[in-house]
Amino acid sequence: MKKILSLLLIVTLISTYSCKKDEKENPGGGGEEGPQKVECMVTKTEYTDPNDANENETSTYTNDDVKGLIKSYNRSLIGSSGPLDYTYSYIYEDEAKGLIDRIEILNGSDLLAKIEYTNVDDKISKRELVVQTTTGGWYSPNAWTVSYTYGSNGKVEQMRIEDNDLWGDPSPVPTDETAVLTFTGDNNTNTKWYDTSDIGGTVKEEYTYQFDTKQRVFSNVKSLEYPNNSVNNITQLVNEKYGATPTTVTKVYTITYNSKDLPIKKDVADDRGTALYTLQYTYSNCGN
């Protein structure tokens, strides 16, 4: 799979993060005590790589915890060439539904890039990364475009990435790849990647996931940054790479939960027990 990670983008993780956020109704408020706040909104995530401290990073979130929305977050990276700080500012098309119009990426007061959203029938149909040139204009074509196709069950059945490799070598090599997703219940348990021109033909990479029954980290956040492709947490990921020399890589997630059944720590290792990275989460209005 052509990786769409760049120096400016998460992930991870958001991977992470993967990261795809559920849409939930905002608890009602009012009365003498004031508006009721949404429980357990993330205020900080910390990524630690035991093998390379230059990969470590921390994200600190500014939220509207009455509406259940992320307003912005600051991403601080150590980096091999020195510390880097970026702010991701959220501009909404419809706050009541958590639909995002764009996310602006800034270094200090300098706007570097933006992710523009196209929403159809209250679902994300497209996300496009647009990067600013050194002269203040915008690169054309976009750095990448991610398009989503939904099935009759309302889940994403295909995800297409057109990557123009604007942060690649001096001679960019654009790619066009499509993922085909399979669900078990509400969780995406299998993903196969193809060249878009060869869907159903040669599998480039395949990911198989196992899940727990607990809540995901961002389950109480209304902001719809990615289509919601899972409601629980990954406990194991098996990456079977197809090619001249097929390999299988397994990642095992050991998760520590709080009293609300939300993760506060994820330790990720390979199948030999070698630590790969750790993710830690801090919440507001979440009790113990």
Q: What is the pLDDT of residues 200-244, one digit of tens each?
A: 999 999 999 999 999 999 999 999 999 988 999 999 999 888 777
Of the candidate ranges 20-34, 116-130, 161-175, 252-266, the one whose mean pLDDT is the lowest: 20-34
Q: Give the pTM.
A: 0.85
d(CA 2, CA 194): 10
3-state SS assignment for residue 3: coil
At 53 the three-state DSSP class reads helix
Backbone angles phi, psi at 189, to 5 degrees: -100, -10
| pLDDT attached to residue 240 | 85
**What confidence score (pLDDT) does residue 246 get?**
77
Dihedral over alpha carbons 230, 8, 94, 20 (to 10 degrees)? 0
Strands 234-241 and 123-131: unpaired
Beta strands in the chain (DSSP E): 15-16, 18, 41-48, 57-64, 69-77, 84-94, 99-107, 110-120, 123-131, 144-150, 156-163, 175-184, 187-195, 205-211, 234-241, 247-257, 263-270, 275-284
Task: Give Cα 101 to chain centroid, integer Å.
Answer: 17
Q: Compute φ and ψ for 69, nearest 5 degrees.
A: -115, 145
Q: What are the residue ranges spanned by the domains of the chain?
A: 35-284
Q: Cβ distance 264 to 256 under 8 Å?
A: yes
168 band by pLDDT with thresholds 50, 70 and 90: low
Q: Strands 99-107 and 110-120, how do they pair?
A: antiparallel
pLDDT tens digits, 254-263: 999 999 999 9
Residue 8 clears pLDDT 80, i.e. is over it: no
Q: Which SS3 state, helix, strand or coil, does residue 197 take? A: helix
Local confidence band at 139 (pLDDT 50, 70, 90 cut-offs): confident
Single-letter code of the amino acid located at 170: P
pLDDT per residue as tens digits for the range 22-67:
323 333 344 456 789 999 999 999 999 999 999 999 999 999 999 9
**What CATH number was assigned to the domain covering residues 35-284?**
2.40.160.190
Q: What is the C-alpha to C-alpha distance for residues 86 and 69, in angstroms, rounded to an integer?
A: 19
How much is the mean pLDDT over the chain?
Answer: 87
